[in-house]
């Protein structure tokens, strides 16, 4: 199950513990009575979906936040970290996925930043600093030159320097927060070798990753968080992959499922695909994705956080340049994809991040709706206000956008109506394929129902729709079939007629190389609901 070091019969010494820690921000309880024990010479995996409380817990452990209630103990003694510097001085250090070092300084400078060896208590002893940096680099077999400029190194090497900095600070506890997110497979191997050496030296490590294969390869124990609370703790043997995923998603108790599934639309098994994606690759986030979608079909892209759903959409759309693979729209290859080229070919994409990548907050509802359409309603650089008004009026009526008027600021709308305005923007380009990345994220139940209605009507009108959701029940209710991603690769697929979340968990829990049901991702409509077959 795991290649981590075998646990000795004696329980390793507890280094850092939280006992009943809670933290509230306004009315939001980010942490609820969290107890966690990090032990010497042990890699402890912290897992959970977005909003589970992992980041807040890390900030409490590193002194960025102080708990409202509860206590921290270090080597059995009660401690209070009033700042990250205070936590570092006590031997608790964090290495984040974003490199927080100085690229213009040398490797040695970054390793000993703010605690440089001194001569006469004042002058930086550069010779000694380089020697000590070289010792650390050699001890962990890092292929970096202590005198090299940090910015000249790749991300993997920079990540290793972050680790070396933690070691130089005398860390007794190292927190690794998504350290492999930007690393190649070879760099991940080097990182894991360093982690094994740190474990052998008796350092307590907290490893946070959405890649479960890495967790099972590395971790001695797991803590699973959901909604700010610890829901399960155990070894890899006690928490096999299926049980871990079930705990993360809140599916410990199978049986009662409250969701309403959509009725199947016309069968499209013999139709040519509106969208065909074959072996798409982008970096290490999209490794091998294939799927086909027919007109009038809603296909769900399912997977845990970090499975590559958003990256897949952005690569298909051309917001990220694919390293390999093919994308066909209505039987024609989409080459050298860019967002503008994709839009022109009938592809539309709605980002999950409405605030940062969706709305233009200083523009009106109408201006937001026509933002992608300006070249089509302009002549000689002048926008046709009549065409703009017509497009906006029809969009507001068609999607039922509740607004004081087209000239109202987009920020005056509710989250659900902002989302409908963004869907209207996508539709204004008259697409044949619509990519919706978690379109109901952050909106209330009533608004979700409205978005569902709009998406289903669009499919009935002939669009091919691919959609993701952070809620599995919602995805099952909205779609005709699922394509399941695991760590950037297509793992399987299934029709949603009669399916429940446990069926999806079974696919997610399967081996990443398991080819079960992958045909469902490649054959258009092969698992579609027969015409007229309503779901229960």
Instruction: Give pLDDT, residue 522.
Output: 42
Task: Kindly tell me if the per-residue pLDDT of 532 is higher than 50.
Answer: no
Residue range 35-54: mean pLDDT, rounded: 90
> How high is the pLDDT of residue 256?
37
The more confidently predicted of residues 210 and 480 is: 480
What's the pLDDT score for residue 252? 53
b/e code 469-505 from CB counts within 10 Å (16+ = b): bbbbbbbbbbbbbbbbbbbbbbbbbbbbbebbbebbb
Q: What is the pLDDT of residues 410-464, one digit of tens each?
A: 988 877 788 888 888 888 888 999 999 988 876 655 567 777 888 898 899 999 9
Taking only the tens place, the pLDDT of each residue in 96-155 is 876 778 888 999 998 888 778 888 877 888 888 999 899 888 888 888 899 999 888 877
Domains of the chain: 14-249 (3.40.50.300), 262-346+431-536 (3.40.50.300), 356-430 (no CATH)
Average pLDDT, the chain: 83
For the segment 330-337, the average pLDDT, to the nearest whole number, is 92
Q: Which of 7-21, 310-324, 355-369 has the lowest mean pLDDT?
A: 7-21
For residue 186, pLDDT beyond 80: no
- The burial of 461, by beta-carbon neighbours within 10 Å (0-12 exposed, 13-18 middle, 19 or more buried), is given as exposed
Check residue 531 and give its pLDDT.
31
**pLDDT per residue over 348-405, tens digit each?**
998 887 777 888 989 999 899 888 777 777 777 788 888 888 889 988 888 888 888 8
Comparing 263 with 13, the larger pLDDT belongs to 13
pLDDT at 4: 46
pLDDT (0 to 100) of residue 416: 76
At 392, which helix (H) or strand (E)?
helix 385-399
Q: Higher confidence at residue 457 or residue 44?
A: 44
Instruction: Determine how many CB atoms are found less than 10 A away from the CB of residue 147.
Output: 13
| Residue 479 in tokens | 């779609």
Q: Are 293 and 269 spatial neighbours (Cβ–Cβ below 8 Å)? A: no
Query: What pLDDT does 355 receive?
Result: 76
Instruction: Judge contact between 246 and 518, C-beta under 8 A.
Output: no
- Give the per-residue pLDDT at 5: 42
Greatest C-alpha distance within the chain: 85
Placement of tokens 């860019």 in the chain: 338
Q: Is the pLDDT of residue 2 over 60?
A: no
CA dist 86 and 419 (Å) reads 43
Query: What is the pLDDT confidence band of residue 182, given thresholds at 50, 70 and 90?
Result: low
Q: 463-493: per-residue pLDDT in tens? A: 999 999 877 888 888 999 999 999 899 998 8
Q: Sorting pLDDT into bands at 50, 70 and 90, what band is 524? A: very low
* pLDDT score of 37 more than 50: yes
pLDDT digits (tens, 9 = 90+) for 237-287: 999 988 888 888 776 544 333 344 455 554 455 467 999 999 999 988 899
Instruction: Please state, as a whole number, how many other Cβ atoms lie within 10 Å of the Cβ of residue 238.
Output: 12
- What is residue 3's predicted lDDT score, i.e. its pLDDT? 46
Q: What is the pLDDT of residue 529?
A: 36
- pLDDT at site 444: 56
User: What tens digit of pLDDT does each residue of 69-103 get?
Assistant: 999 999 999 999 999 989 988 999 988 876 778 88
| 431 close to 445: Cβ distance less than 8 angstroms | no
């Amino acid at each position: 199950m795991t290649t981590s070091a075998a646990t000795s019969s004696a329980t390793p010494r507890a280094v850092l513990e939280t006992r009943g820690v809670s933290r509230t921000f306004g009315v939001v309880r980010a942490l609820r009575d969290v107890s966690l024990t990090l032990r010497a010479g042990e890699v402890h995996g912290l897992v959970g979906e977005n909003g589970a409380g992992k980041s807040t817990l890390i900030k409490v452990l590193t002194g960025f936040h102080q708990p409202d209630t509860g206590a921290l103990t270090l080597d059995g003694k009660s401690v209070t970290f009033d700042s990250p510097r205070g936590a570092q001085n006590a031997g608790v250090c964090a290495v984040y996925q974003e490199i927080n070092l100085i690229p213009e300084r040398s490797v040695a400078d970054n390793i000993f930043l703010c605690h440089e060896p001194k001569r006469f208590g004042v002058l930086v002893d550069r010779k000694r600093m380089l020697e000590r940096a070289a010792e650390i680099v050699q001890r962990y077999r890092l292929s970096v030159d202590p005198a090299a400029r940090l910015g000249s190194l790749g991300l993997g090497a920079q990540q290793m320097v972050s680790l070396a900095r933690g070691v130089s600070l005398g860390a007794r506890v190292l927190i690794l927060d998504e350290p492999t997110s930007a690393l190649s497979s070879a760099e991940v191997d080097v990182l894991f070798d360093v982690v094994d050496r740190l474990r052998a030296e008796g350092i307590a490590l907290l490893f946070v990753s959405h890649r479960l294969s890495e967790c099972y390869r590395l971790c001695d124990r797991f803590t699973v968080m959901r909604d700010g609370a610890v829901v399960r703790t155990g070894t890899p043997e006690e928490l096999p992959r299926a049980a871990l995923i079930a705990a993360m998603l809140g599916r410990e108790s199978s049986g009662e499922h409250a969701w309403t599934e959509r009725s199947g639309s016309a069968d499209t098994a013999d139709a040519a695909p509106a969208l065909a994606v074959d072996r798409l690759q982008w970096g290490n986030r999209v490794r091998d994705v294939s799927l086909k979608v027919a007109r009038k079909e809603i296909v769900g892209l399912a997977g845990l956080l970090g499975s590559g759903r958003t990256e897949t959409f952005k690569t298909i759309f051309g917001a990220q340049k694919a390293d390999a693979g093919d994308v066909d729209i209505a039987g024609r290859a989409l080459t050298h994809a860019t967002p503008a080229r994709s839009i022109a070919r009938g592809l539309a994409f709605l980002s999950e991040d409405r605030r940062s990548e969706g709305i233009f907050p200083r523009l009106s509802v109408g201006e937001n709706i026509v933002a992608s359409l300006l070249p089509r309603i302009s002549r000689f650089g002048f926008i046709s206000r009549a065409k703009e008004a017509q497009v906006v009026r029809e969009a507001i009526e068609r999607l039922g956008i509740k607004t004081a008027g087209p000239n109202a600021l987009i920020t005056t709308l509710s989250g659900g109506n902002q989302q409908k305005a963004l869907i209207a923007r996508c539709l204004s380009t008259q697409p044949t394929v619509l990519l919706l990345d978690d379109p109901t994220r952050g909106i209330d139940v009533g608004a979700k129902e409205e978005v569902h209605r709009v998406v289903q009507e669009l499919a009935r009108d002939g669009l091919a729709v691919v959609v993701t959701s952070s809620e599995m029940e919602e995805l099952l209710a909205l779609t005709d079939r699922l394509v399941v991603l695991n760590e950037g690769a297509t793992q399987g697929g299934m029709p949603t007629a009669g399916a429940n979340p446990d069926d999806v968990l079974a696919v997610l829990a399967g081996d990443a190389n398991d080819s079960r049901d992958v045909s469902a991702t490649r054959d258009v409509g092969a698992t579609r609901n027969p015409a007229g077959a309503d779901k229960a």
